[in-house]
Chains A and B, each alone.
Chain A
Amino acid sequence: MTPDARIEGLLREAAPQAIAALVRRHGSFDACEDAVQEALLAAALQWPAEGVPDEPRAWLITVASRRLADRRRAEEARRRREQAVAAEPASAPGRDDTLTLLLLCCHPALTPPSQIALTLRAVAGLTTAQIARAFLVPEASMAQRISRAKQAIRAAGARFEPPPERERADRMRAVLHVLYLIFNEGHTATSGPDLQRRELTNEAIRLTRGLHALLPTDGEVAGLLALMLLTDARRKSRSRPDGSLVPLAEQDRTRWDAAAIGEGVALVTDVLARAPLGPYQLQAAIAALHGEAKRAEDTDWPQILHLYDLLERLAPGPMVSLNRAVAVGEVHGPQAGLELLDTLEADKRLRRHHRLQAVRAHLLERAGEPLAAQRGYLAAARLTTSLPERRYLEARAARIGSSRSPARRTR
């Protein structure tokens, strides 16, 4: 690791603790978060030249406190009295502070995109510029979103404290959902210009790992971490160097990350044995079954179908039903899968969804109906807003076309 990378790692680790320490003493999340961002920038400039201080976190807290004090002094003379307090050395923030900060950033007053942006900045310690690059928007727009998110938290009267017990389950669900969304943003990125975005996968895993260390008995946190590890294990084989997608069944499984699969399987096995069942655990268990299959044809589809049955009961949703239809197709044959899709088409959200059309096309292809499959792939290609997915679906349609009329190929 280069010295700069080591420093960045240290800073990112310390950022949420520094914010938490400041908020504890000064209250205003908004101003404290800004002050810590300034301290992070100062550290990124000074440390490579002058060396890393003995207590990086204390250094950040001290510098951020000074910035905060400076600003307040400039803003309101009448607050001067309070500034003496700000110069005192900080007490060590508790371990739960990071969790409280995470819960605050995922406050229900915010939309998911705002929750994500704020979490990446305040908890993951990314700069606004880094977040903006990852989401391909101008830095000014991202800065505006973060600033509005902080205003919304203030307007909602939220404070830096654990939520009341009756709200805790919902608030935790929001946190896990945000971590999952961050992971997905990075995971779906293919190669090439998307490398910035792929970094989000590592961020999500790092944050979830931290959360799992704080809450080792929480089954869903462990389940989410396992799901991320097992999904990310396929990273190298899920797209080609040119960015085109490789479906699960055609991936080179020797390129899967065996260590990540091992860790994910161990996590999910352990948690299923001791915690109340939850959706992330079930999805992790499904990913584990895929991860453990040495060849696509070794996949334990009956067990996967069983897990989807449970998932559909526990956390029903159109995407779960659709994935279950894939499993039904594998276990009971393409015709059974197609019949299930017909019933799913009653759902308006799904009818116009490219995934339903893609699954239908795949099942039709297996059922020996190439023309209908080709139409299905093209319908799916028209509906998706993802370039690699459109390329993949058009290629599938073209493959059927060329295998049906070899004369055209030789023309």
Chain B
Amino acid sequence: MLDFEGPCRTLESPVKIMRIIVCLKPVPDPKHWNRLQLDPKTRTLVRKGIPSTINPLDRHALEAALTLREQEGGEVLIVSMAPEDSQPVLKEALAMGADRAVLLSDRMFAGSDTLGTAYVLSAGIERLGEFDLILCGDETIDGGTAQVSAQLAEFLGVPNVMHVSGLEAFPEKPWLVRSQIEHGYMVVEIEPPMVLSVVKSINTPRYVTLMNILEAEQKQIEVWSANDVTLSEPWAGLTGSPTQMADLFVPERKGMAEMITGDAKEQAAKLADRLHRLGFC
């Protein structure tokens, strides 16, 4: 009887392909941040007219996913929570090589803090079904909180590792993941499904060619609203989020510095004199 156990199980479960989900955030292109304005009335940032791009570290996450797919086979899915006009950014991710993209977009998601964002992403991922690996960038360049990956893992009830700089996948045994810590790193053994968030040093993201862009035209972006996912808890959106922005402001300046003028030699002499009188030299 025992002899049949192995083969029977194999027959029951069809061959599974690896499913990798990459969470990706469209962010205002940092090249244009000098155009960001603070609306003095609403105390919100006016980012009108500033083009969006893939959050830089999320590119590294996508690259890690594509590399893994090339090695192990499988599929790479993009999941993003963003306004509907972010589709060009997801198109770029598809052009990099992702197979499919899901955009979670709904007015009620707007203003979500990290808990709200992680919760909405988890709802979208739950609808997608089983996965082996979720990859995120360690942090975004706009909010920069670096909290969503761990919170997403918590909502999904799977382990997570942050600050990931290396990854080795194995079919039948725990994976090895390297995580950067102060002045060094640690290597952990971890079994899928899991959430990993990556740092820049993990890889160099590939360039997108014109051919890739044309190919991406065939691929689909599915847009899911709040009605398309199951949200049983109240954390989504501005009102659901536990943290609130009490104030947003441009940092106070000390006022203009006292300027030391003259030609270069005079400036140098005046500064040296000042430092000397203060006892620095």
Q: Do A and B come from one complex?
A: no
Interface, chain A (partner B; CB < 8 A):
none
